[in-house]
Structure 1
Amino acid sequence: MTHHPVQQKPELPWTKADPAQLGSLYKFLRVVDVVDALDGIGYFNIGLMDTDVRPLWGGMRFFGEAATIRAVPSNKPMWKLETTADVVRAHGIWFEKYPQAKLPTDLAPGHVVVMDSGGGQEVGFWGSENAMGAIVGGAVGIVTDGYARDTGELEAQGTPVVSRKRGRTIIPGRIQAIETQTTIACGGTQVNPGDIVGADDDGVVVVPKEVAVEVATHARAILLHDMKARRRHYDKLGLPADESVDVEAVEAWYAEV
C-alpha cells in the first residue's frame, strides 16, 4: 500500500483569496495551470525549473512567496573533532567559526524557502530537523537545486522539500549560506524575494512577482474549466466526486476577486 504523508503546513491567515496576499491567490492552483497562464501572457519557458528538481514524495503541493538563500562551496575543510560530544554538535562548532547567513525571523507565514546551492559537492543541507524548523517558522515549502538528506523521515513527517538529489553528508566543511533575500538562480531559473514559487508532482514553477496577480487570474479560469470537464466525466463513469473536482470550493475561495 502506498504511503501518502500528511503535509505539514503552518497556520496561515488566509480565509479567502486576497490580492494583497499573493500566496492566497494560488491556494487551489496546479503547476500546470500556472504554466499555461504564463504561456498565455507570452512568458514561454520562463520560470520552469529543471525537471530534476522534484518533490521528494508524491502528493506534495504548495505555492508561496519566495524567501531566498544563496550558498557556495565552503572551500574550507572541517577539522578533526576529538570527542563524541563534539561530533554530535559538529554543526554548532562549525557555525561558531563560520557563521551562515540566515533568513529574517519576521517572514510572513506562507513563504517558500528557495536555495541556490552553488553547484557544490554532495551535502544534505536540508534534513528532517532543520526543514521542519523552517515549517515551524511559517514556510509552506522548501526548494533547493542541491541535496536533501534524512529523506525517509522527511516523507514520514510530510515535510514539503523539493530537491535535485538525495544526499548523505552534513554541512560543515562543504557548504556555506552566504546571502539571503537576494536574486538567485535555482534549477536554471531566476528567483527573487517575493516571486511566487509552486511545486507539485509535475515539478516547480516560478512566477515573477510583477505578473503574479495576472497569472493567478488566468490560471484560476484554466483550473475551473478543467475541473468542470473532469466532473462531467466523473458523473458519466459513476465515480464519487473528490477535491480535485470540487468546483464549488474553488469558486467560493475566489468569489471576491
Structure 2
Amino acid sequence: MPAAPVFEKADPTNLRSLYQHLRVCDVVDALDGIGYFNIGLMDPEVRPLWLGMKFWGEAATIRAVPSNRPMWKLDTTEDIVAAHGRWFAEVPHPKLPTDLAPGHVIVMDSGGGPEVGFWGSENAMASVLGGAVGIITDGYCRDTGEVAAQKSPVVARRRGRSIIPGRIMVIETQTTIACGGVQVSPGDIVGADDDGVVVVPRHVAEEVAVHARAVLLADMRARKKHYDSLGMQPDSSVDIDGILAYYADL
C-alpha cells in the first residue's frame, strides 16, 4: 500500500487535505463556533507519546473488551516467544479491512481492560506501513521508548508493560465506538498534536475546516506582528503566505 500523501494544495474533494495545516485548537474553536461545545474533546489523558506529533485523518475504528479467559501456561521458550500466535490461533479476532485508503487514523476503544500493551513498536510500525497516519487508544501502549525513537504516531492514555494474550480481545471493527469519552464513527475526522486529540463528526467536517482555517490565519497574523516587534526571525508557524497559497483554490 502506498504511503499516506502529504498534500501540496488543499483538495476540496479530500477532507484530510483541508485539515493538514490546522492545529487542534483551531478546530476546537471552530466546533465551539458552530455550537458544538465540548463535542469531540478526548480526555486530556489520551495524549501523544512524544512531542511534535501531529496528524489528521479519517477514523478507522476498533472495539475491544477484556478477554475474560487467561492465557494457558506455556512450556518452552519457543512457545513463549510465539505467545501471540498461539493465542490468536485459539482466540481469533476481527481485523480492520485491508483496503483502507492511505491516510486513515486507527482509533481503539480499549473497553476499560487491564494494563496491556495492545499497541507497541512493531504493530504501530506495521500499521503505518499499511497506510495509517495515526493510532489512538484510550488504553495502553508499550515499547514506548522505541515508539518515540521511530516516530510512530501513537496516542495513548497509559504506558504499559504486559502483552495481549489472556487480557484483551477485539470484538468489532468499523463500528461506532467510545474512545477517551467521545463518540467516534468510521470516517469522522480525527486529529492530534501536542495539545491533545479532537474528533470532528463527519457531517460537520467541511464546515469546521473553513472556520478553523480562518482562526489559524487570524492567530498567525497577530503572532507575526509580535515576531516583528521583538525582532524575531519568522518561522513556519507564521508563514501566512504559505497557508494562503495552500488553500488558494478553495
Once the 2 structures are TM-superposed, how far is the Cα of residue 159 of structure 1 from its aligned partner? 0.6
In 2: Cα distance, 1:131 partner to 1:110 partner: 14
Q: Report the TM-score when normalising by structure 2.
A: 0.97
1:159 aligns to 2:178 (yes or no): no
Amino acid of the structure 2 residue aligned with 1:123: V
Q: Deviation digits for residues 218-247 of structure 1, max 9, x if unmatched?
A: 000000110111111111111111111111
Partner of 1:196: 189
Cα contact 2:67–2:169 (8 A) shared by 1: yes
In 1: Cα distance, 2:66 partner to 2:242 partner: 46
User: Which among 213, 217, 223 is matched to residue 210 of structure 2?
Assistant: 217
In 2: Cα distance, 1:90 partner to 1:249 partner: 50
Partner of 1:206: 199
1:1-257 to 2 correspondences below 5 Å: 10-12=3-5, 14-257=7-250
In 2: Cα distance, 1:232 partner to 1:122 partner: 48
Look up the SS of the partner of 1:193 in the other structure: coil
Q: Deviation digits for residues 170-196 of structure 1, max 9, x if unmatched?
A: 000000011100000000000000000
Look up the SS of the partner of 1:172 in the other structure: coil
In 2: Cα distance, 1:74 partner to 1:19 partner: 43
Q: Report the TM-score when normalising by structure 1.
A: 0.95
Q: Which runs of 4+ in 1 moved over 4 A?
A: none
In 1: Cα distance, 2:125 partner to 2:3 partner: 10
Any gaps of 5 or more consecutive residues in structure 2?
none
Once the 2 structures are TM-superposed, how far is the Cα of residue 13 of structure 1 from its aligned partner? 6.4
C-alpha RMSD of matched pairs (Å): 1.2
Q: Deviation digits for residues 194-227 of structure 1, max 9, x if unmatched?
A: 0000111111100000000000000000001101
